[in-house]
Structure 1
Amino acid sequence: MSSRKTAVVPRPGLVDRVRGALVAVRPRLRDDAAPLPDAGVTEMLGQIGATLLASSQATNDVEATLNDLAEQYECRNLRIFVLPTLILIEDTGTTPSQTAIFPADHDALRLDQSAAMERLVRDAGVSRTLPETVVATISRIRSEPPRFGPVLSVVGYMLLTVGFGMVLNPTVTALPVYVVLGALVGVIVFIGSRSQTLSLILPVLTAFSVTLLISVLVRPIVHDDVLRLVAPSLVSFLPGLTLTIAAVELTSGQMMAGASRLVYGIARLGLLAFGVYVGISVGGQPPTSTGTAEQLGAWAPWVGILLVSLGYYLFSASPRGSLVWILYALVVAYSAQLLGNLLLGAELSGLIGAVIVIPAVYLAGRLKAAPSTAIMLTCAYWLLVPGAMGFIGLSEAAAGTAGATTTLLRTFASLFAIAIGMMLGAGFSRDFTAISRGWRSASHKDEEEN
């Protein structure tokens, strides 16, 4: 009588169980992001548009880019509509006409991913790359892990917090608070972004945690306003760039896109303000500045800009060789904003800043050693946008602080000033490029005739 041996399956250990649990709560990749083997120009344009929206571009800019690509691929029968959350492409060459819908991913791209997308779009337009190849490259770009590990990412966020805090010209006692809050929030962002459930309440949870920490632990030593301490540590949650893009879309006639993006930005500010309000309610109202500690001085914002550039380089995984150019964009933006403050006042300083920084970035982008202009512009916008002002204004309103309405009105005035400056700066850059091309073509024509 023969006996059959049963294979023994090893039971998973604790490490395997923990790894499986972490993988289970990670956000799943969208099925629509996978490349299609028979993808045509329509599929390619939809994937490009959805990815460009994730790199914080305005809908009118994305629409112009897609129309240019359709023209370069000789697909003149396509009508393209871009909204903040989806792309609509209608093929009028068929009877009846067919419309393809491409949902936009809500996960923002890192700086290296934005740069890779800009290069891909430029090369595709020049060489008319096969649509299947472009779609596959987009999928690879979106799935690439950051080149810096979690430790450097947290260090980068801490530098961002300290840098933005120093731009506000804080007191000496605020610096160690920025270091602690930056490291704490950096860890929260790293862990929360990998949990599908936790990411939903991450803005409120983070704002509540840092406010409660300040209210309970640093009450005796800090001689600065609580909101000036909290705002820099929430830099990745502040929707300043979203609000500014909304203002750009509204001023350029994109009513649906601008209005929906504006409502989203205000709602995000409201969530952060609610977290601060709950933190103050639980921990108690921290004392206001007593005036015993002096601010660092006029040199602090310039050191802050250096730390912000290094923080962006690490936290957002900027490409190699881009640190100097990020610093260049931030210095130009801040210098132009100081000039605007002298000429027009604080509320309209962003107009001068945007008018100057956009042509300066496009001019630097012509150099061979310069990185993608998307990297420099994104960092410059973060320094210009008044997201911290709106956050402080809503938090003051929630806490019943006098003058909160004035702060909110100044915030919206700054938003539209920056939006107008961005449109003027981009327009000047396009006109200069067109004039230089016409000048060169005329010179070549004269040489050929002679």
Structure 2
Amino acid sequence: MQDDADRQTETRALLAELGTAMIATGQPVQEIEEELTEVSARLGYPEVQTAVGPTGLMVSLTSGGPSTFRSAPPGLRLHQSASVRLIRHQLVHGELGPAAARDELAATAMRPVQQPAWLVALAWPVLAVGIALILQPGWANIAAAAVGALIVLALVQLAERYEVVKALLPTLAAFAVSLAVFGAANAGLLEGPLRTVLPPLAVLLPGALVVNGMSELASGHMQAGSARLTYGLAQLGLFALGLLMATALLRVPTSTLVNLRVDEIGWAGAVVGLILIGASICLMEGVPLRMQGWVLLVLSLAFGAQVAGQELGSIALGGFLGAIAASLGASVVELRRPQLPRLVLFLPAFWLLVPGSLGLVGVTELAAGRESATDVALGLLGVAIAISLGLLVGSAVGRALRGRLAADPAPPPAPAPPTAPSPHPAASD
């Protein structure tokens, strides 16, 4: 009896640690609950009950039984997310026991990025340049984006040491970058400053929060979805506040706060920008070398579908098609290569799709009196809903494919005639 109680306690602790690690990877709560149920059933507790939120979870193995609560740790990088996904895969397939899985999870949380610190720091301006090549492909704008990214990097490092800087980071980052960019625009060094501000700030913008919140609301998780959506919109307002403070200090005319795109490079800029975005995200997040080509593939699929949708219809249609391509493409790759976690392949494309930058433009134009509140709200809501629906469709089709493969196992191979053993055995996938 005591052994069974100890086993239940260890299983609850494992599920709580695995679930909070999955929260830290950025997964929506509905996916976490489904995957924890799958793991628990494999461990012998099919009646598990979970209550997952954006900051923690509760888990009970039986109805009315004891429960365990655990708060989520800070966000994990993609190389750590890959390890969490691998641990879940091994638990489902019986390749890892609960005690060993808990040890692996503890080690994963402490695992640093393998690249040197200077190389990770270099990835920040490279990412900003890549986004600028897509969003505002002018030579002066690209240079300003790189300088702005260095400013943001310095503030992020200060935020790790000082709590007050961490609390004010969105406003401080937007204020400092806007001072530099709009100051250059006032001096006549560049055009389209509003879109030039966005690439350095893109890594901090809360677009993922907004879209994840919409996705959770659509799946019926009202508390998690509304909390995440409210927090994301509040963060967006803090960014817009910093930007408007800078423009007020510099006395920037309202006519300058317009969504103007400068294109001095052409279509080649988007191709180069896409490569730079994929490479820089892999550096910043410590993505293993064996996954980087697949990350770039899914990123390209999502970007291509997004551009096609925008050409055929609107920004919302582009977000919808891009989200389907990203989610379904990552699921298909994981089906063919189980050692490549879907989440790690999908998140870089998701960060490219999220409407954080467009949301900042809309909120800024609203505060400057150029747009009506209704137009801005409907625009933000439409793009967020479109991307959320795309994620739901892509993940649903991916789950159907996984279920189909699980229901239709491959027939056993026919017995082969005896042969001499090969001195060079084939490498496995």
TM-score (norm 2): 0.88
Aligned residue runs from structure 1 range 56-71, under 5 A: 56-71=26-41
TM-score (norm 1): 0.84
The one-character-per-residue Cα deviations of 1:213-264 (angstroms, maximum 9, x if unpaired) are 2233452234332221111111121111111111111111111111111001
Counterpart-to-counterpart distance in 2, 1:101 and 1:293? 51
Residue type at the aligned position of 1:206: A
Residue type at the aligned position of 1:86: G
What displacement does 1:272 show? 0.8
Aligned residue runs from structure 1 range 18-417, under 5 A: 40-92=10-62, 97-105=65-73, 107-127=74-94, 129-285=96-252, 288=256, 294-368=263-337, 371-402=340-371, 405-417=374-386
What displacement does 1:420 show? 0.9
Identity %: 25
Query: Cα distance 1:68–1:221, how it changes in 2: closer, same or farther (>3 A)?
Result: same
Shifted more, 272-281 versus 392-401: the winner is 392-401
Q: Is the 8 A contact 2:125 2:150 kept in 1?
A: yes
The one-character-per-residue Cα deviations of 1:404-439 (angstroms, maximum 9, x if unpaired) are 653442221011111111111111122223234434
Counterpart-to-counterpart distance in 2, 1:240 and 1:433? 29
Q: Is the 8 A contact 1:223 1:290 kept in 2?
A: no
What displacement does 1:39 show? 6.1
Runs of at least 5 residues in structure 1 that lack an aligned partner in the other structure? 1-35
What displacement does 1:120 show? 0.9
Residue type at the aligned position of 1:100: T
Q: Is the 8 A contact 1:358 1:426 kept in 2?
A: yes
Query: Cα distance 1:178–1:194, how it changes in 2: closer, same or farther (>3 A)?
Result: same
The aligned length equals 408
Counterpart-to-counterpart distance in 1, 2:407 and 2:412? 10
Q: Is the 8 A contact 1:170 1:224 kept in 2?
A: no
Bigger Cα Rg? 1
Q: State the SS of the aligned residue for 2:177.
A: helix
Q: Is the 8 A contact 2:77 2:285 kept in 1?
A: yes
Residue type at the aligned position of 2:106: S
Please, what is the CA RMSD of the aligned residues? Answer: 2.7
Counterpart-to-counterpart distance in 2, 1:384 and 1:171? 21
Query: Cα distance 1:128–1:84, how it changes in 2: closer, same or farther (>3 A)?
Result: same
What displacement does 1:176 show? 0.9
Query: Cα distance 1:195–1:38, how it changes in 2: closer, same or farther (>3 A)?
Result: farther
Q: Is the 8 A contact 2:185 2:191 kept in 1?
A: no
Name the residue aligned to 2:387: 418
